Structure 1
Amino acid sequence: MHAPQSQFTRQDRMDWLRLIRTENVGPITFARLLERFGTAAAALAALPDLARKGGRQQPLRIPPKAEIERELAALEKRGARLICKGEAEYPRPLANVDDAPPVLTVLGFPALLARPCVGIVGARNASIVGRKMAEKLAHDLAEAGFTVVSGLARGIDTAAHEGSLAKGTAAVVAGGIDIIYPPENEALYRELAQRGAIIAESPLGTEPQARHFPRRNRLISGLSLGVVVVEAALKSGSLITARFAAEQGRDVFAVPGSPLDPRAQGCNRLIKEGAGLVETAEDVILALRNASLSPLSEPPGGLFRGGPGAAPDEKMVDKARAIVVESLSPTPVLIDELVRGCQLSAGVVLTILLELELAGRLQRHPGGRVSLI
């Protein structure tokens, strides 16, 4: 284990949880707020005014302290851990992802996430051959010292967890850490809690919904040095995970399959597009041999623990607000293009985008793009 890079008090944890659980605050907005105000407590105090300037009429919902106390108490009762970005136990590869969750809940053994990780994902309606392949790959990768990361879904995910359970596996869930989904994986969930790790960014009690799964997928890839896809249709969540992996600078691998099987079409396309072809775990091990020495595993540069950043001039922001809103539309645009097009400083534009997001008027998209809602 590495020495802690920063000490978080219980009050720090409460402030961080309150901020990330606040309406319209996501990981990127959280980071911007801490860069601007220095601490979560200061950011919480500034939220109502920022949302009002962004055009919000109704009060922003900020969780009361009692609600956060209950969440912390419930986590402790379950034996789960709350890990803040910047703490030594926060997974280093994930910390380098732009929209990394500021807070993770982990049930089981967080130390598994300090090992080099490999994601294995694939079809829920997997074939017998596909499940056997996933189980064998996971077993051999875990034997080689990797932690196998997957999503606890039926099919390939289940096989990957089962193959690596004895040596090291972690499941990223789409809902709360206390929600077992799918229900038929209850026994596997309990084994993972005892011998592996279960990771969530959503609050306790959150039922998985369709919109949660892409966010879950970007955590699977973010935790991993590379992602292996075993059976995937052309339109599947597994290909979303592969796309996230590529955007995050991870290696993407795929197991080829018969052109006659729709479950192989996604993998075959990935290989055509440059993914590493996988026949055995050795193909992955050789490709990732030096990955643990790459910049992905360097400590994050910022711990969001410094003083407040320089705020742009209020009068300048007031004058620029209408220009930025007029330049936005429901079509996503790169923030860099917006800054150039508005001929304003980046600090002014970022401040206005922050206000609009808190007001519920702005949506962020992958690749640093934003659009009006």
Structure 2
Amino acid sequence: MLASRLAGYGLAVATLCTASFSYADSLPNVTILATGGTIAGTGATSTTTVGYSAAKLGVEKLIEAVPEMKTIANVSGEQVFQIASENMTNDHWLKLAKRVNELLKQSSVDGIVITHGTDTIEETAYFLNLVVKSKKPVVIVGAMRPATAISADGPINLYNAVGIAGSKDAQGRGVLVALNDEIQGAREVTKSNTMLASTFRAPDLGSLGYVVRGKPVFYRATARKHTVDTEFDIGKLDQLPEVDVVYGYANAKRTPIDAFVAGGDVGLVHAGTGNGSLATPVKEALKEARAKGVIVVRSSRTGSGITARNGEANDDELDFVAADNLNAQKARILLMLALTKTRDTKDIQRMFEVY
């Protein structure tokens, strides 16, 4: 009788183990790459939502804080670097992008989530959107409140991001940004508020969809080319061309333009007033910079809308490039990558109209 019961128990355990294995085997495999930011931040008290310390918790702590992720994906983690995102550099981008491409080549990886500080999340997202060479989902996620705060938004954002990264519906949609139950496209999204959890917006075109019960629900797709359809290859790059942004305002001077050119910049983005207007001294400085070989892109500081070619300046005559509806910080990224391919302004203008 005892032997029979033990045999039955053994069979039950074996059946349970087989069922557990089958369940885990059916889940997508999602790798979380951690880079720091507020999502990994800590505050002095549970009500500290301003003045906290970013990038304090490692990736394992982030995973441990959301055990529910294990019900929707097989999750693994890797700490790529641990910084506040205002300290993100071109070198960080190259390292991160190369690691993403390495992982996505593996059949054992179905999608990637990147935890990131919100200050430059839109820039990292757009850079990856142009250089990732896979249709598998890449989702960047952050938080507006540190992990120690009451109602911290990091855990649910991370859970949602893993759900998106593991979904077949997210494949081929470019790099995505997930916060506040919304899915944003990398090209269009921007941080619009200093403090609110609803800070991320796509002012021209709106979000791509929502996350419901950990699953993405899409309503539109990004029309511009991205990921596998771009011409950019960072595989052999160890640095990016020097490009900076000059801000337009009343009483603007040429001083920063001259300084950037003297410092060795090969490209400049001007975030102009209105539709990319150029104050007289700024225009003269940019003309001189172009004569020295510096590529000039006109963008706008307004935050939305198209900077029209030959609108507020005669771009054909000046040999400038118009940024379309990219904001200045994203125009800088596209210009850097464009300069790895060409210095022909007509070809660069084509890129701004395609990507």
Q: Which has the higher helix share?
A: 1
Q: Which has the higher strand share?
A: 2
TM-score (norm 1): 0.26
Q: Which has the larger radius of gyration?
A: 2
| Larger RCO: 1 or 2 (CA < 8 Å, sep 6+) | 1
